[in-house]
Structure formats: structure tokens, C-alpha cells
């Protein structure tokens, strides 16, 4: 158990819909990272927040957005969902600002778009 | 940005055999990280290498970063069934890029 929690574990929705994935980092960690893992694209970094501010951006689509709240939990919003958005979405957390820190991954949210 | 190519895609070994996965880049990498993901699990950080020619060991696992910092390898000596999973390399600069992973299966 990494100490990172993600909800929900599974999510099934339809194309065109909008969903919100939630992540609570390990106690004391200020950075939250979001990743997408799919069979065809592999593991892809989406975005990082540090203490409420966006820190780094990866291959995140414009239909996706994220935020980190004052209590440090983070939400990833996915809208206008397409079949290709079906994937495992992982959240990770670390104490500091950058990728040099060890990242602790949560168990993931499996999103299925029908 | 930095891209890392990882080979092989799959490796099936008999328990007790050795295993190696390789990551290569056409550009110089400032760092390399290795992760393990068990089937149905999440990635778990193993190690980070930043120096040219660096070698680090964790029990039966040996990690190397090439002299030119364009390649890296993870070697497992005498595999065990607990080594089963997918091993990823990754490198970061302004963002994080992962290799495609090597899926290791071990036959007891």
C-alpha cells in the first residue's frame, strides 16, 4: 500500500460524457502527478501539480483538466469522452517539486468508455 | 523531448535464469528511472540513475547507466517467480517519458 488513494476503482460511462477522478496523496506529499496507461499508448504523463499550482504538463488533451485543492487532493476531469480514452488512470505523489523525487503511485482508476 | 525505446517487449524465462531489459535513446538523457508493475498492480519506483557509467545494485537487480548516457539496462540474476511483472524505464526533463516496458514471465 503506497498511501495514495484513488476513487473510484472502476468507472464505466458512455461517449460524450464527463467524469471526475479523485486522488488523495500520501500524507505530507505536496506534488500530485496524473498518468494514463493504455495498451496502445503505454504509460503517459499527463500533468503535475505542486501545492495547488500546475508544475509540469505532458500529453494532456484539451478535453482533460486537473486541479489540486488546498487540502492537496487532486481531481482529473475528463470531458467529451471518446472510446480511446478508455485506460487506467494513475495518480502518484511525491514530497517535493520535481521528478527527481520518488513517486508513489496509487492503485489506479480503470475507465471504460462505451 | 527525450524518448526512450525499450527492448525486448516480452521475455519468458525459466526460474533461475537471468533476465535483462534495455532502454535506449537517440539523445543524451539527464537521468533514468526504473519501475516495476506487477500484473494488475501499479508502477513501483525501483531506482534512479543520473551519473555517466553509474551502476547500482539491489539484491539480485543490477542497474546500469551507459557512459554516453544514452542507454540503460536492468539485469536480474537468477529470476524468481516474484520477479514477474512489467519493467519500465523512464526519463524526465520538463516532463516524464516512459519506455514501452518489458513484460517478464517466469516459469517455475
Residue among B42, B95, B99 whose CB faces A90 most closely: B42
Give the model confidence (pLDDT) of A36-60 as tens digits.
Answer: 999 888 999 999 999 999 999 998 9
pLDDT of residue A39: 87
Instruction: Give the chain A residue nearest B39 (alpha carbons).
Output: A107
**Region B13-21 average pLDDT:** 98
Residue B1 has pLDDT above 70, yes or no: no
pLDDT of B93 reads: 84
The 3-state DSSP class for residue B95 equals coil
- Total CB pairs under 8 A between chain A and B: 45
Give the C-alpha separation, B50 to A96, whole Å.
18
Q: Give the pLDDT of chain A (114 residues) as one tens digit per residue.
A: 889 999 999 999 999 999 999 999 999 999 999 999 998 889 999 999 999 999 999 989 999 999 999 999 999 999 999 999 999 999 999 999 888 889 999 999 999 999
B100 to A42: CB separation less than 8 angstroms, yes or no: yes
Q: Which residue has the higher pLDDT, B35 or B2?
A: B35
Kindly identify which residue of chain A lies nearest to residue B98, measuring between CA atoms. A43
Q: Which of B17, B32, B22, B4 is nearest to B102 (CA)?
A: B22
**Taking a contact as any Cβ pair under 8 Å apart, which residues of chain A between 47 and 66 contact chain B?**
56-59
Reading the block at residue A1, the C-alpha cell is 500500500
Burial of A4 (0-12, 13-18, 19+ CB in 10 A): buried
Tell me the mean pLDDT in the region B47-60: 97
Q: Any chain B CB within 8 A of the CB of A25?
A: no
Q: Is the dihedral of CA A6, A92, B34, B21 positive or negative?
A: positive
Considering chain B, what is the average pLDDT of its residues? 95
pLDDT of residue B41: 96
pLDDT tens digits, residue range B38-53?
A: 999 999 999 999 999 9
DSSP tag of B70: S
Q: pLDDT band at B64, cuts 50/70/90?
A: very high
Mutation target for A interface from B43, B48, B85: give the one with most A CBs within 10 A.
Answer: B43
pLDDT, position B106: 97
pLDDT at B34: 98
Q: Is the pLDDT of residue B94 over 90?
A: no
| CA max distance for chain B | 42
Contact flag A104-B97 (C-beta cutoff 8 Å): no
Residue B66, pLDDT > 90, answer yes
Question: What is the rounded average pLDDT of the residues B14-36?
Answer: 96
At B2 the pLDDT is: 63
The residue in chain B having the minimum alpha-carbon distance to the alpha carbon of residue A6 is: B42
Amino acid at each position: 500500500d503506497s498511501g495514495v488513494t484513488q476513487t473510484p476503482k472502476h468507472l464505466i460511462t458512455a461517449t460524450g460524457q464527463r467524469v471526475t477522478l479523485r486522488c488523495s496523496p500520501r500524507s505530507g506529499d505536496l506534488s500530485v502527478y496524473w498518468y494514463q496507461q493504455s495498451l496502445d499508448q503505454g504509460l503517459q504523463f499527463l500533468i503535475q501539480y505542486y501545492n495547488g499550482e500546475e508544475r509540469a504538463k505532458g500529453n494532456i488533451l484539451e478535453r482533460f483538466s486537473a486541479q489540486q485543492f488546498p487540502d492537496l487532493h487532486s481531481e482529473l476531469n475528463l470531458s467529451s469522452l471518446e472510446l480511446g480514452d478508455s485506460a487506467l488512470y494513475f495518480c502518484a505523489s511525491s514530497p517535493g517539486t520535481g521528478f527527481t523525487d520518488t513517486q508513489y503511485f496509487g492503485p489506479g482508476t480503470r475507465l471504460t468508455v462505451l | 523531448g527525450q524518448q526512450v525505446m525499450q527492448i525486448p517487449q516480452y521475455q519468458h524465462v525459466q526460474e533461475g535464469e537471468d533476465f535483462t531489459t534495455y532502454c535506449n535513446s537517440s539523445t543524451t538523457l539527464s537521468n533514468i528511472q526504473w519501475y516495476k508493475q506487477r500484473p494488475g498492480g501499479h508502477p513501483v519506483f525501483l531506482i534512479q540513475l543520473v551519473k555517466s557509467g553509474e551502476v547500482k545494485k539491489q539484491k539480485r537487480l543490477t542497474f546500469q547507466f551507459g557512459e554516453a548516457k544514452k542507454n540503460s539496462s536492468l539485469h536480474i540474476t537468477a529470476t524468481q517467480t516474484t520477479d514477474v511483472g512489467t519493467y519500465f524505464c523512464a526519463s524526465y526533463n520538463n516532463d516524464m517519458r516512459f519506455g514501452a516496458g518489458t513484460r517478464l514471465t517466469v516459469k517455475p
